[in-house]
Structure 1
Amino acid sequence: MRLNFMYLLSLLALMCSCQPDYCSNEVDVSDISVDVEIIRLEDKIFSAQSSAELRELFQPHTQYRQRYANLSGTAEDSLFYQEYFRIIQDPYIDTLYQQTKSVFSNIESLETDFEQAFRHIKYYYPNFQPPQIYTTFTGLGSLGSDLLVSDNLIVISLDFFLGDGARFRPQTHDYMLTRYRPEYIVPSSMMILSDKFNNTNREDNSLLAEMIYYGKSYYFMQQVMPCLPDTLIAGYDGVGMNIVTENTKMIWSHFIDNELLYETSHTVIPRYVGERPSVVEINAKVPGRVGRWLGWQIIQNYSQRTDQDLPQVMQKGDARQIFIQAKYRP
């Protein structure tokens, strides 16, 4: 099957950030106040002179200790602090830390992006209380995950998000590394946070239900970060975004012709919504997770046709009804 996009457009897409010259909504959040303070632990961690000092450093940060570091507050935690102290003495780890300090010497833009996103969430959900935010350092996962997001806690391991110029990168597939850049931190956090607002029928195991679930999470990001480029919402580079937008009809035809929407096979569904470099069943150049992207298009249609606001869209849990009412036809 042949893709109808031009090589020149692909090259141009690579050179642009796909930043729109407009924002997706006109919600006024200027009068909404939220308190955003990012607690930076990474510098304090590297200033510790012993494992005992690390324990003392973590002691006041109860949520961080219990939910991110999985520490119990007992004597058994000593092994964790000893290992942490050993790792931060490693000269290779110090090189990674120095690069982290360089990339994130100033996090004002990070605070601003979180603040704006939280303002938008509070606009739609007045009872929303922003989570406490921490930045930390884990040696690319030796002592914690890249990103933890819950109702009341966000922890960002900054060493994961240094970008293409970093000497050391996360041990993952190349096609996933594009999302380990500073500009993905807040969008990724908002996508995970969207789950608490995303009502869904857990008994519907169809591909369509998965597509709609992810489509709503993308739509949530779009609404709470209305000036965010589509590339950062979908997690595609310029070339990938150009492929899906220029070939939407062909991609959609594959789903319809193969009767995939109501497929429930645990081996088939991940081919279209899971992490893959490409969806070879459609075409080797179609980027992975294309089912999520299609779900987003369906949700945008649904919102426009039904004139529903963000909370109403997120509350709708019946994927089939959403699809029927969206009348999506690329």
Structure 2
Amino acid sequence: MKFFRYLLFSSAFLFGMNSCKKDPKELWKVEIKNPVEKADVADISKEFYDGAVTLATFTQKYPWFQGTVPDEDFAVRRADPEEAAIYKEAISKIDVQKLSSELGTLFSHIMYHFPEFKAPKVYLYSSALQGIMEPIFYQSEENLLFIDVTGFMGNNNPNYKGLEQYFQVSMNPNNILPKVSETFAKYFVQPSVDQQKFIDQLIYEGKLMTLQDAFLPNEPNYLKISYTPAQYEWAAENEANIWNFFVENNLVFSDDVRLKERFIKPGPFSKFYTEIDNDSSPRVGIYTGWQICKKFYQENPDTKLPDFLKMNAQQIFNQSNYKPKN
């Protein structure tokens, strides 16, 4: 792996030894006494494209699905062979029974940490590729979760022609569960209006990833952060170098709004503005915030998640003693 060749690695502040108070891999493995065996999953589009199901029957069963679309236009869409073909291909890639079981496990872990949470009714549907950029939607008022199956047809699927490759990395069937988990993490961690500094953004993203750890303790880390295995490996091997770059360039407590675009928003790579850029993993700010929060929990393993989420960025950073070693 290629490293930041020009950085200095001698600073004791940057590369002090991490304390090992508790194995972070075991921290979130908890005993669920009353698990949700399977989520309640319904495939709306299976009925939508079924000619044997009348429009009146469908709209009566799912009155919110049609929205403001006139009956005539709705009927045309139901009979569109191209739309139906896209749905059939998308749903064929998903093991619905397996997904139902995995979602049940996910909901069980959420309820363990947030007892007030209730397992939502889950609806699979096809947007005919129109909603693939935001394929997961949670309607909290009615506790309904919607999953657009056309958003998970697989990397390099012909239907995704023209879509940037870095988006397609997380558009595989095995990305459904982490993206659902991320959706609920964002429900529990509302962004603060006080997030003016880069460290605030890092810790916000770190909180989201910490919830991913708690909700999906057995899921591979690279899937939680929407990386390829190679991208995760690069970020892990360069963790100290990334942090050193942030510190050396006075970025940690900077209020430069461009840092979010460079290190947090989706892209083909992170923007250090060095020769390393094209080889780097994207969104390394999210990875860094995640590692700070992991270190916080190494130091403070008994902190309850609700209490952790209430803490501000400065508190978490200070109590983490984050000093990644090379």
TM-score range, shorter chain: 0.7 to 0.9
1:141 aligns with 2:144: no
| Equivalence for 2:119 | 130
In structure 1, the partner of 2:104 is 115
**Conserved 8 A contact 2:207-2:309:** yes
Over 3 Å counting, the alpha-carbon distance change for 1:209 and 1:55 in structure 2 is: farther
Matched, 1:93 2:94: no
Per-residue CA distance 1:71-105 (angstroms, 9 max, x = gap): 2xxxxx343x443433443443333223124213x
Shift of 1:241: 0.9
Equivalence for 1:3: 3
- Matched with 1:266 is 257
**Number of equivalences:** 299
Distance in structure 2 (CA, Å) of the matches to 1:205 and 1:223: 27
Aligned to 1:134, what secondary structure does the other structure show? strand
Task: For residue 280 of structure 1, give the secondary structure of its aligned residue in structure 2.
Answer: coil
Q: Deviations over 1:255-274 (max 9, x none)?
A: 10111122222223221111
CA distance in 2, matches of 1:144, 1:256: 34
When residues 259 and 125 of structure 1 are mapped into structure 2, their CA distance, relative to the original with a 3 A threshold, is same
Question: TM-score when scaled to structure 1?
Answer: 0.82
Look up the SS of the partner of 1:111 in the other structure. helix
Q: Normalising by the residue count of structure 2, what TM-score does the alignment of the two structures yield?
A: 0.83
Contact 2:36 2:107 in 1 (8 A): no
Q: Which has the higher mean CA deviation after the structures are superposed, 194-203 or 146-155?
A: 194-203
Please, which moves more after superposition, 183-192 or 277-286?
277-286
Uncovered stretches (5+) of structure 2, i.e. residues with no partner: 6-24
Cα deviation 1:180-219 (Å, max 9, x = unaligned):
1111112111112112322554223211111111111111
Match of 1:323 among 279, 297, 317: 317
User: What percentage of residue pairs aligned between the two structures are identical?
Assistant: 21
Letter in structure 2 aligned against 1:327: N
Q: Which residue does 1:289 correspond to in 2?
A: 283
Deviates more, 1:216-225 or 1:26-35: 26-35
Q: Is 2:177 the partner of 1:176?
A: no
Kept in 2: contact 1:29–1:119 (CA 8 A):
yes
Can you list the C-alpha shifts for 1:25-59, whole angstroms capped at 9, x where unaligned? 33001434476211111110101479xx4464133
147-156 or 206-215, which deviates more: 147-156
Q: Which amino acid aligns with 1:110?
A: L
Q: Secondary structure at the match of 2:218?
A: coil
Counterpart amino acid of 2:96? Answer: I
- Report the equivalent of 2:45: 42
Structure 2 residue matching 1:100: 3-state secondary structure:
helix
Secondary structure of the structure 2 residue equivalent to 1:268: helix
Q: Of 230, 233, 238, which residue of structure 1 is paired with 2:221?
A: 230
